[in-house]
Amino acid sequence: MSDLDFVTVDDLTELRELLLSSPDASSLRTIGLREVVSGDGALATLPSILDRLSIDKGSSITVVSDTTPKRYHDMDVLDAVIEALDQTYRVNVVHVAPEPLAAIVLADESTVAEVVERVRRQAPNCLVSVGSGTMVDIGKVVANELSLTHVVVQTAASVNGYADAHSVLLVNGVKRTTPSRWPDALVIDPGAIARAPIAMTRSGLGDQISMFSAAADWYLSDAVGFDTSYSPTLASLMRRDFDELMAATVALGWGEPKAVSRLASCLTLGGLIMGAAGRTAPSSGAEHLISHLLEMHADAERIPSASHGSQVGVGSVVAAIIWRRLRERLCLGNVQVGATNVATREHVLNVFAPLDATGALGQECWSAYERKATWIQHHLDDLRRVVSEWPQHDEVIGQLLRPADFIATALRDAQAPISFDQLSPPPPANVVSWSLTYGHLLRDRFGVLDLAELIGAWSPQDINDVLDELRELAR
């Protein structure tokens, strides 16, 4: 039996049929990812994958990768990809290095534009992206801009964005989820992902566990009428294999290949669900806002930040605490929605001014928040109705959430960070407080931070109390 006997090709027919038969099928997007190829030796099947994608032998293939070495058995992942392809195709490589003074590759406007142009000059028939989240996000944009068949070779089980139709880009210094395009094929080889730094695997668990707080935010946005895309089908499907993953968190913490493959499978499903939703809301709520602000602050200072998923994991514990406190307050009744708590343009610009002296970053945040602020001012009655009818919504939200101690235990079992001071590197305490205070100003989505702010439940004391509870859980 050869390694290739362990490779499976999933054309996602079962998932497509499930979504088509669901009660909310009419609101869901068609999945554009054609196949997921996984298992030991999946990298060696790249020529077969390209053949199924109608890429003729002898065609020009451009491989895009960053410059960080990545292990694949006894060689580098990039070398393994080239070795698999160059007997059948003409292979060129575009290496993407961090900008001067930057610690890592950033998916900002200049980097993306440069990679698009470098790939364009090679006029390939197909693009192969090799790397973790940022490289794949860049690859999706390049493939979309140049109308190229796109194969993603995943090198870590670190985020859930490999399998969706979006890219997280830096726009004027602001993290923005931007429509790009589905990959045509996703390759997941345990020989690569199980050899990624263990911190990246633990980061993937943090990204995956965000589904609980994110789903509650998504439902809340639908309940108040701001974003009526909430899908019970997708929220339920997101959790399909989660119990099995939770049973493997200890093994995941030391990188056991089967556990890492299980995590990668869950992350892939999460990406597909975000793509079907047409938005990242199924797995991106308050916890991601907190992480994005931490990253933006670090980027502005040109210093490293902790991995995205590790920050999201900590943010998920925080979001669970915030949700519990908010639910308790709303269930007591006699809660008022205050329109005066909506931020002004001047306030938003002042909040983000320290990150960018030009003001472009603050204006980018205001352009998104302004839409939400305007909506709030015109829908105060809808917000007050939801608050007055809270018990019926609380029942649904309670089913979507998981307690903070459940999330903290899962992270602890995997030896992943639970609190901000356990992140590597840990952000300064004042930056943490800033991120929690102003996370809701980042984008035009309505969530738990917005509601807490509107009912006067997000004061500096509230934030300190949340952080105190977080520290207790992390002990």
Report pTM: 0.94
What pLDDT does residue 163 have? 94
- Residues 132-148 have a mean pLDDT of 95
- pLDDT band at 388; cut points 50, 70, 90: very high
**Average pLDDT value over all residues in the chain:** 94
Tens digits of residue pLDDT in 26-57? 999 999 999 999 999 999 999 999 999 999 99
- Residues 162-168 have a mean pLDDT of 92
Using CA atoms, how far apart are residues 93 and 64, in angstroms rounded to an integer? Answer: 6
- pLDDT band at 4; cut points 50, 70, 90: very low
